[in-house]
């Protein structure tokens, strides 16, 4: 991962902020006249002023002779002016000396005359008395400038001198071959940069993951890395973590505070090696490769409608483009796509997943994944492939889902992290989808509760079922679609369309039983009209019907004939005929086969769910029950 970060650094060159710099809010500036060296201390008011200044991320602990780590030309008053804190005069004078030493080292490198003035001012008695008179405290940040409009920090020469100074401070005296660029150089012993994520920070060398092991943990001498490579990797990584569209928040632990579980915080970062816009391949695609990942990784919240994931349609279309024959074939072929999942933990960051694929396989794999996942919306209006967080959201118990605390982002438990990993691998690398997801989805789907009165809650439950069915469909049909792909685009396209909605020709008993249950419910609905039912036979019988059809369908069928069909026949004959025909068709096909199955296994239960869901969507569409955005 580190070498990939370095390789792609050029792509982000113009966007990256200055290296070894950071933002700090300053309280005072000491303005020095470049002509005669006179100075004045200007306060920045209560809120202070934010400046982008030379910083190092590794300052911590009690300052001592070998742990000073002063910043350059802008620091807390204890460092910059020697103002003592609780630690006393001695400590303040020690770190102030360090600050001056750093200043002199820049001066030596740049021969910047104005720095000489700063040095003189720092040594003057007049400064000390003014600092006292104003009451500057040890923790106040103090900046310097010799021009009212410009600070030292914006100067390229100063920035370079700072990096050279840092480098000298952080490297070992011996040279070795850098494990990233392969060039011999002095090796870093400490990394002066921190990666910050959600308030946690640590240097890249203490990430704990397989991909870093070869580069060693904290002992960088054993796995040598040069100043430049480590700096570049750190900066590119931080940039990606903080910048749209290169990240997606997969999950967030809303229970902030100490002792909780920061591992529940997961951020995905992703980028392509070279900057190529999908718009180059097809003008109708308006977003970048990175933005398109939102369709896969970003959580969706159900507001007034069930929305398809943002950009999903464009993503699926992009993956079908015959890029091989385009002018950009070369650029696609040589390009790569990278994805990392990072969580913060107490004192370090955890790299949970690292994927590297060529852009060509990305297009094949992601397309197949999205097509296998895609399913008709519960109102039969649109198809969609739910993003991964929506699948995890759906795996939560209904009670949590409709609880008062409305956190609409999934919190993956430990056992789910394999499923998460499996989904990511399936999506990006083309591995088989995680089989464990099937059982989880089937079990969650089985729970039907009385329909909530609040529309938003109802949509939430419907969105949940849609995500669960999509997950089941992915597991069941991914291999089938993969196979179809080898038979050409036309056959593949037909298969995709057939599977994402009701398959009227589908003859499996499990699938037909699911359809039949949806039909019996519809008959109940039609019978009750114009009254609306908020509880149907599904709530009571779905569990048994989907696991042991034989035991329950006989009763359900005779109930429908006796209780509902008679009335329907009298009052609305056309509807009656329509229902009766469908009833005969479906139950006939089951009986002409092997009859109602005694029990269904997990896969068959998933097929049952698919048949039920798709048939129900058809009825909802007929009744004009709209849940998706028009
Ligand atoms: Zn290097």
Cα(54) to centroid(ligand 1), Å: 22
Ligand 1 centre distance from Cα of residue 480 (Å)? 46
How far is 205 from 185, CA to CA, in rounded Å?
A: 18
State pLDDT tens for residues 483-529.
999 999 899 999 999 999 999 998 899 999 999 999 999 999 998 88
User: Distance between CA 12 and CA 3 in Å, rounded?
Assistant: 15
**Greatest C-alpha distance within the chain:** 106
Q: Does residue 1 register a pLDDT over 80?
A: yes
How much is the average pLDDT of 449-453? Answer: 78
For the ranges 207-211, 359-363, 367-371, 571-575, the lowest mean pLDDT is seen at: 207-211
Torsion of the alpha carbons at 394, 399, 402 and 406, rounded to the nearest 10: -80
CA distance 134 to 7: 50
pLDDT at residue 334 greater than cutoff 80: yes
pLDDT computed for residue 310 by the predictor: 83
CA of 630 to the centre of ligand 1 (A): 54
Whole-number Å distance between alpha carbons of 201 and 129:
38
Residues with Cβ within 5 Å of ion ligand 1? Answer: 178, 180-181, 226, 229
Distance of CA 400 to the CA centre of its chain: 22
Q: Which residues of 40-58 are buried (b: 16+ CB within 10 A; e: fewer)?
A: ebeebeeeeeebebbbbbb
**Distance from residue 215's CA to the centre of ligand 1 (Å):** 12
Flag whether pLDDT at 476 surpasses 50. yes
The Å distance, Cα 184 to ligand 1 centre, comes to 8
What gap in Å lies between CA 9 and CA 236, rounded to an integer? 6
CA 50 to ligand 1 centroid distance, Å: 33
Ligand 1 centroid – CA 68 distance (Å): 26
Q: Is residue 220 predicted with pLDDT exceeding 50?
A: no
pLDDT-above-90 percentage for the chain: 52
Least confident of 196-210, 288-302, 322-336, 429-443: 196-210
Identify the residue with better confidence: 223 or 244: 244
Compute, in angstroms, the gap from residue 290 CA to the centroid of ligand 1.
27
Cα 580 to ligand 1 centre (Å): 75
pLDDT (mean) for 40-46 = 93
Average pLDDT over residues 72-78: 92
Centroid of ligand 1 to alpha carbon of 235 (angstroms): 14
Which residues, in sequence order, are CB contacts of 570 under 8 Å at separation 6+? none
Q: Strand order in 349-358's β-sheet?
A: 247-251, 266-272, 336-344, 349-358
- pLDDT the model gives residue 448: 82
CA of 118 relative to ligand 1 center, distance in Å: 35
- C-alpha 446/C-alpha 22 separation (Å) is 52
Question: Which of 14-28, 197-211, 315-329, 529-543 has the lowest average pLDDT?
Answer: 197-211
The predicted structure's pLDDT at residue 222: 57
**Ligand 1 midpoint to CA 52 (Å):** 26
pLDDT tens-digit readout, 179-218: 889 999 998 888 899 888 887 888 887 665 443 443 444 4
Averaged pLDDT of the chain: 87
The pLDDT assigned to 141 comes to 96
Enter the pTM of the model.
Answer: 0.86
Backbone dihedral angles phi then psi of residue 138, each to the nearest 5 degrees = -55, -35
What's the average model confidence in pLDDT over 284-289?
86
Q: Does residue 536 have a pLDDT over 80?
A: yes
How far does residue 18's CA lie from ligand 1's centre (Å)?
19
Contact 2, 180 (CB under 8 A): yes
pLDDT: is 530 or 140 the higher one? Answer: 140
Buried b (16+ CB within 10 A) or exposed e, 263-272: bbbbbbbbbb
Q: From ligand 1's centre to the CA of 179, what distance in Å?
A: 7
Domain boundaries, the chain: 2-13+166-242, 21-154, 247-500, 509-623
Query: Would you say 224 and 373 are in contact if contact means Cβ atoms under 8 Å apart?
Result: no
> How far is residue 537's CA from residue 556's CA, in Å, rounded to a whole number?
9
At 82-113, the pLDDT tens digits run 999 887 889 999 999 999 999 999 899 888 88
Whole-number Å distance, alpha carbon 181 to ligand 1 midpoint, is 4
Distance between Cα 355 and ligand 1 center (Å): 22
Task: Give the Cα separation of 346 and 548 in Å (integer).
Answer: 49
Q: Using CA atoms of 507, 512, 513, 519 in order, give the dihedral in degrees to the nearest 10.
A: -160
For residue 211, report the distance from its CA to the centre of ligand 1, in Å. Answer: 17
Residues 142 and 80: beta-carbon distance below 8 Å: yes
Most confident stretch, 258-267, 272-281, 549-558: 549-558
Given a contact cutoff of 8 angstroms between Cβ atoms, the answer to whether 255 and 211 are in contact is no
pLDDT of residue 402: 65
Supply the pLDDT for residue 224. 84
Instruction: Find the 272 Cα to ligand 1 centroid distance in Å.
Output: 22
φ, ψ dihedrals at 151, nearest 5°: -100, 165
pLDDT over threshold 50, residue 221:
no
Question: How many angstroms does the Cα of residue 176 sit away from the middle of ligand 1?
Answer: 10
What average pLDDT score do residues 518-544 get? 90
Ligand 1 center–CA 186 separation, angstroms: 9
Res. 480 pLDDT band, cuts 50 70 90: very high
Torsion angle defined by CA atoms of residues 433, 314, 489 and 608, in that order, rounded to the nearest 10 degrees: 40
Q: Give me ligand 1 centre to Cα 354, in Å.
A: 21
Residue 257: band (very low, low, confident or very high) from pLDDT cuts 50, 70, 90: very low
Identify the H or E element spanning 471.
Answer: helix 455-485
Structure confidence by residue, pLDDT tens digits, 544-565: 999 999 999 999 999 998 888 8
From the CA of 504, how far away is ligand 1's center (Å)?
61
- Taking the C-alpha atoms of residue 581 and residue 592, their distance in angstroms, rounded to an integer, is 16
Choose among 315, 242, 240: nearest CA to 282: 315
First to last CA, the chain: 43
**With 50 as the cut, is the pLDDT of residue 364 above it?**
yes
How far, in Å, from the CA of 581 to the mean position of ligand 1?
A: 74
Rounded to the nearest angstrom, the distance between the alpha carbon of 228 and the centre of ligand 1 is: 6
Which pair of structure tokens corresponds to residue 481?
Answer: 């679609």
Say how many Å lie between the CA of residue 259 and the centre of ligand 1. 38
Residue 182 CA to ligand 1 center (angstroms) comes to 6
Mean pLDDT value across residues 44-52: 93
pLDDT value, residue 218: 41
Mean pLDDT of 524-545: 88
Distance 224 CA to ligand 1 centre (A): 8
Spatial neighbors of 556 by CB under 8 A, at least 6 apart, are 517, 520, 537, 541, 545
- Residue 341, strand partner residues: 268, 353
Written as one string, the DSSP assignment of 438-462 is HHHHHHHHT---PPPSSHHHHHHHH
Ligand 1: centre distance to CA 167 (Å): 13
pLDDT tier, 400 (very low <50, low <70, confident <90, very high otherwise): low
């Amino acid at each position: 991962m580190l070498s990939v970060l370095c390789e792609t650094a050029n792509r982000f060159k113009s966007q990256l902020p200055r290296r070894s710099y950071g933002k700090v809010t300053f309280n005072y500036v000491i303005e020095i006249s470049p002509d005669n060296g006179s100075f004045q201390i200007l306060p920045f008011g209560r809120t202070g002023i934010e400046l982008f200044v030379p910083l190092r991320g590794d300052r911590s602990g009690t300052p001592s002779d070998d742990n000073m780590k002063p910043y350059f030309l802008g620091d807390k008053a204890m460092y910059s002016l020697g103002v003592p804190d609780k630690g006393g005069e001695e400590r303040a004078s020690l770190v102030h000396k360090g600050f001056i030493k750093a200043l002199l080292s820049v001066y030596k490198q740049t021969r910047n005359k104005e720095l000489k003035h700063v040095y003189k001012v720092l040594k003057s008695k007049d400064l000390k008395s003014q600092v006292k008179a104003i009451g500057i405290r040890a923790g106040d940040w103090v900046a310097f400038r010799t021009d009212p409009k410009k600070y030292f920090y914006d100067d390229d020469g100063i920035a370079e001198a700072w990096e050279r100074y840092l480098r000298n401070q952080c490297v070992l005296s011996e040279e070795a071959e850098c494990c990233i660029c392969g060039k011999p150089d002095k090796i870093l012993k400490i990394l002066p940069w921190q990666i910050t994520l959600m308030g946690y920070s640590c240097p890249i060398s203490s990430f704990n993951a397989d991909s870093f092991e070869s580069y060693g943990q904290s002992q960088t001498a054993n796995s040598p890395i040069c100043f430049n490579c480590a700096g570049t990797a750190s900066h590119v990584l931080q940039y990606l973590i903080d910048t749209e569209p290169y990240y997606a928040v997969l999950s967030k632990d809303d229970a902030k505070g100490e002792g909780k579980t920061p591992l529940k915080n997961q951020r995905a970062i992703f980028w392509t090696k070279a900057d190529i816009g999908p718009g180059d391949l097809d003008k109708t695609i308006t977003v970048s490769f990175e933005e398109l990942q939102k369709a896969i990784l970003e959580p969706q919240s159900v507001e007034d409608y069930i929305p398809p994931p943002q950009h999903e349609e464009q993503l699926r279309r992009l993956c079908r483009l015959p890029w091989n024959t385009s002018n950009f074939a070369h650029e696609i072929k040589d390009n790569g796509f990278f994805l990392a999942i990072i969580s913060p933990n107490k004192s370090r960051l955890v790299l949970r997943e690292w994927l590297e694929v060529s852009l060509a396989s990305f297009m094949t794999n992601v397309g197949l994944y999205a097509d296998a996942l895609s399913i008709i919306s519960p109102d039969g209006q649109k198809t969609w492939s739910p993003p991964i967080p929506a699948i995890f959201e759906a795996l939560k118990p209904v009670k949590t889902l409709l609880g008062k605390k409305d956190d609409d982002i999934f919190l993956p438990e430990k056992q789910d992290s394999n499923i998460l990993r499996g989904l990511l691998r399936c999506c990006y690398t083309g591995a088989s989808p995680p089989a464990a997801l099937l059982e989880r989805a089937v079990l969650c789907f089985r729970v039907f509760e009385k329909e909530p009165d609040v529309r938003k809650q109802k949509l939430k439950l419907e969105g949940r079922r849609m995500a669960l069915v999509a997950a089941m469909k992915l597991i069941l049909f991914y291999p089938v679609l993969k196979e179809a792909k080898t038979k050409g685009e036309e056959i593949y396209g037909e298969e995709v369309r057939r599977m994402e909605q009701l398959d009227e020709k589908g003859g499996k008993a499990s699938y037909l039983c699911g359809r039949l249950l949806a039909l019996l419910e519809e008959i109940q609905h039609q019978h009750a009209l114009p009254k609306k039912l908020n509880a149907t036979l599904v709530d009571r019988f779905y569990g048994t019907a989907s696991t042991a059809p034989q035991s329950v369908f006989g009763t359900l069928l005779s109930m429908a004939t006796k209780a509902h069909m008679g009335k329907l026949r009298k009052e609305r004959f056309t509807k009656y005929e329509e229902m009766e025909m469908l009833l005969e068709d479906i139950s006939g096909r089951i009986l002409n086969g092997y009859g109602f199955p005694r029990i269904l296994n997990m896969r068959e239960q998933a097929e049952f769910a698919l048949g039920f869901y798709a048939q129900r969507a058809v009825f909802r569409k007929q009744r004009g029950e709209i849940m998706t955005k028009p």
